[in-house]
Amino acid sequence: MQDHYKKFDLTDKVALITGASEGIGRDIAIGLSEAGVDIIICSRREEKLLEVKEIAEKTGRKVQTYAIDIQNVSEIEGLKAFIKAKTGKVDILINNAGYAVTKPAWDVCENDWDTMVDTGFKGLFFCCQAIGSIMRENGYGKIINLSSTFSQSIVPGRSVYAGIKAGIDHLTEALAMEWAPHGIRVNGLAPTAVNTPSRQVTLQGPILEKVLARIPLGRLATPGDLIGAVIYLSSEASDFVTGQTLFVDGGWVAAS
């Protein structure tokens, strides 16, 4: 017997999660600490990170916070230096931080564009580069980039966001190819709508009904749906998987 399930074990791994102060990133951070992982959580709001730290530390794992605006590459370099000084390694990078504006394409202004692209695409790339270089020194690592069903489908008002997410899927493939020789696996995770605090404003009434009607399994995604997928993509169980985007979407894309 080979005990294949042991390949899912993440005990004593170190993970960095961006955008961990609320929403999906917060839940993934807590979920990973419950799975035995020491975590480094970052976003701009230190006070929110400290709330997440207090919860995650109840698992007995180490939790470190780092305040950063990932739109600035110099701050990402600062994060890299912090990690090298504190843990010396990162096994798992969850590139979760993102920013979404919902507006007709006619009304998107330069500031909307810059904030979405600099957070969701530029910031994500330079986090891959900075943290990937630490993984390269260790010859192993798992990067998970948060994509979305909108990388392959469309609703009105999400043009720039959809373009960024499609770009992330292809960037994931490109980095997977370049970094496979260094043992770094790069994959994407694409949820359908998740009822996070930032989405609760829009996911109501007729909009919610329309979204649910597009999901064959008939409900929104939950943090638990995503954490199971994160554990798989972070663990040895997925060591032969790279350059893929896993859609955790209740069938949304298949039905589109």
Ligand X SMILES: NC(=O)c1ccc[n+]([C@@H]2O[C@H](COP(=O)([O-])OP(=O)(O)OC[C@H]3O[C@@H](n4cnc5c(N)ncnc54)[C@H](OP(=O)(O)O)[C@@H]3O)[C@@H](O)[C@H]2O)c1
Residues belonging to the active site: 161
| For ligand X, the closer CB: 81 or 180 | 81
Q: How far apart are CA 154 and CA 198, in angstroms?
A: 19
Shortest distance in whole angstroms from residue 19 CB to ligand X? 3
Q: Which residue's C-beta sits nearest to ligand X?
A: 23
Joined together, the tokens standing for residue 5 give 């399930």
Burial class from Cβ neighbours inside 10 Å (0-12, 13-18, 19+) for residue 47 reads exposed
List residues near ligand X by CB under 6 A: 18-25, 43-45, 48, 68-71, 96-100, 119, 146, 148, 191, 193-194, 196-199
Task: Burial-class residue 74 by CB neighbours within 10 Å (0-12, 13-18, 19+).
Answer: exposed
Do the beta carbons of residue 43 and residue 25 sit within 8 Å?
yes
Gap between the Cα atoms of 14 and 69, Å rounded: 21
Q: Cα dist. 125→4, 26, 36, 160, 196 in Å?
A: 33, 21, 27, 17, 24
Distance in Å, CB of 183 to ligand X, minimum? 25
In this complex, which beta carbon is closest to ligand X, that of residue 37 or of residue 117?
117
Whole-angstrom distance, CA of residue 188 vs CA of residue 165 = 10
- Between 19 and 243, name the residue whose CB sits nearer to ligand X: 19
Of the pair 87, 195, the CB lying nearest ligand X is at 195
Residue type, 85: A
